[in-house]
Amino acid sequence: MKPSVVTIEPNGHFCDDCAVRGAAVCSSLDAAELREFEHLGRRVHFDSGETVFSEEDITTSFYNVLEGVMRLYKLLSDGRRQIVGFALPGDFLGMNLSGRHNFSADAIGAVTVCQFAKAPFGRFIEDRPQLLRRINELAIRELSQARDHMVLLGRRSADEKVATFLLGWRERLVALKGLSDTVPLPMSRQDIADYLGLTIETVSRTFTKLERHGVIEIIHGGISLLDPARAEALAAA
Amino acid sequence: MKPSVVTIEPNGHFCDDCAVRGAAVCSSLDAAELREFEHLGRRVHFDSGETVFSEEDITTSFYNVLEGVMRLYKLLSDGRRQIVGFALPGDFLGMNLSGRHNFSADAIGAVTVCQFAKAPFGRFIEDRPQLLRRINELAIRELSQARDHMVLLGRRSADEKVATFLLGWRERLVALKGLSDTVPLPMSRQDIADYLGLTIETVSRTFTKLERHGVIEIIHGGISLLDPARAEALAAA
DNA sequence: ACTCAAATTTGATCTGAGTCAATTGGCTTT
DNA sequence: AAAGCCAATTGACTCAGATCAAATTTGAGT
């Protein structure tokens, strides 16, 4: 991994112009609390490909994604990789019971996170059940998504996997940036393959097949969803 | 075995002799709180094969498993099934954001649960951050397990899946009942297949292969783990 | 624009796990 | 103890997706 510089901005009142202010973990705080809270976090930038934290690392911080996309993954000893999710703005990372991260996370393209040191964050949460409740909600939401993904990995065909992925990814971007049939795919084919439990070749062939059938058009850095209805049908089985 | 449908015992002071008293969700409560808490729950029995709740059902209750084993699963419209987990005593079920269960749960063999109506439970939790923290811990633990299972489903071979399952299941039983190389498997081969993303035939063949190689012995209602070290090696890859 | 390396696509072939089809074994009922 | 039933095993064959092997496209650096 390239040892590029991590830029740390000075602490200060930056929640005001934070993209995920009303969402994410912060949505549970009122104006006064937010003022106190912002002193705990620091904005940190990561360049494309940089690792934010690695599996088995001692957890020293929690992270709130502000901008960009991250891949979250686990490796087997022989190098096989399973991507367990992609993190987008509003996602909160780093919670665990063991005191060590249970997956690795790195930046796909430039990423900005709001980083919280573990101890002060833990103290802040102590007497704020609202915040705890919000974190719990995020965990429960993730758990539900994880179970959906288990169904995909265990029981769906390659075609279904790819169609489901494209629709699900589009849905997340819609929630973030509004409706569009142009779906940017910042992650590589290898990332998609490792997310879907396929090989890169199968993903590529399936994209080509979907394009041949007029369901999508493969464009630079993403796809255009030409026939959402047909994609839904393929995904549903 | 109990003859019929669902037996509901009268409310009362039964936490005293509860098998999961110090564990589960209750471990976060002191003696006084536990006394209040026990009025919220009722013990309910389910016979083998009975469904405790179904996916898409409105969530009216939460459940704390006291005795027995449950299968937790999701179905695709064409009948394909993915088991997302097996619940054992101490597991807490029913948390979700949508107000509907996001998987189905049924009894494998006789099961006893401690059932809590949603509303009173929600009220009780309101001013008990301890309990909320405990529930959050359980969710985070489940999330970590779910991610491990994604790796298994997406990236492991049939042999690795089966070996990993046997070791993981044994581990859970050890935590519950103490060490033993005899591993009861109350679930059917079909359940195991649907948990591992395989077919019943592949699970059966893999069991036979492990037995031929002296790793396990297939016994009535389970297996005997003859060579744990070799099983670990197969699971690790 | 030119070079080189990496990512992606495409083609040919292989194989692990699925499918289809009997058989076997264990229980329960009569 | 025979019959019936369901779960599990075993065997023969198939196939979806993996693997191996080139092209081809893209992109960063000069």
Residue-range domains of chain A with CATH: 7-148 (2.60.120.10), 156-236 (1.10.10.10)
Question: What average pLDDT score do residues B148-177 get?
Answer: 97
CB contact under 8 A, B144 and A102: yes
What would the pLDDT profile of A1-38 be if each residue is shown by its tens digit?
433 445 555 555 678 888 888 888 999 998 889 888 98
Query: What is the identity of the amino acid at B83?
Result: I
DSSP B19: T
**pLDDT higher than 70, residue B8:** no
Under 8 Å CB-to-CB from A162, ≥6 apart: which residues? A192, A196, A198, A203, A206, A207, A210
CB contact under 8 A, A144 and B81: no
CA of A201 to C1' of C11 (A): 11
Q: Look up tokens 């934070």; give the residue.
A: A18
- Partners of A132 on chain B (C-beta within 8 Å) are 129, 132-133, 136
User: Taking every pair of C-alpha atoms in chain A, what is the biggest distance, in angstroms?
Assistant: 57
Closest CA to A154 of B226, B82, B215: B82
Structure tokens at B185: 């498997």
State whether the beta carbon of A148 lies below 7 angstroms from any atom of strand C: no
pLDDT > 90 fraction of chain A, expressed in percent and rounded: 84
What would the pLDDT profile of A82-129 be if each residue is shown by its tens digit?
999 999 999 999 999 999 999 999 999 999 999 999 999 999 999 999
